[in-house]
Amino acid sequence: ENFQQKTSAPFSTDSYDAFISPNTLNLSSFTKLMKKLQEIHPEASRDKIVDALLEVRKNNKGILSGLSINSIVERTSVIL
So what's the pLDDT on residue 36?
94
Q: Pick the closest to residue 52 from 18, 76, 70 (CA basis).
A: 76
Domain, as residue range, for 68: 44-79
Is pTM beyond 0.85? Reply is: no
Model confidence over 24-75: pLDDT tens digits?
A: 556 788 888 999 999 999 999 999 999 999 999 999 999 888 889 899 999 9
**3-class state of residue 14 by DSSP:** coil
Distances from the Cα of 10 to the Cαs of 5, 22, 34, 37, 52, in angstroms? 10, 16, 25, 29, 24
The reported pLDDT for the residue numbered 30 is 85
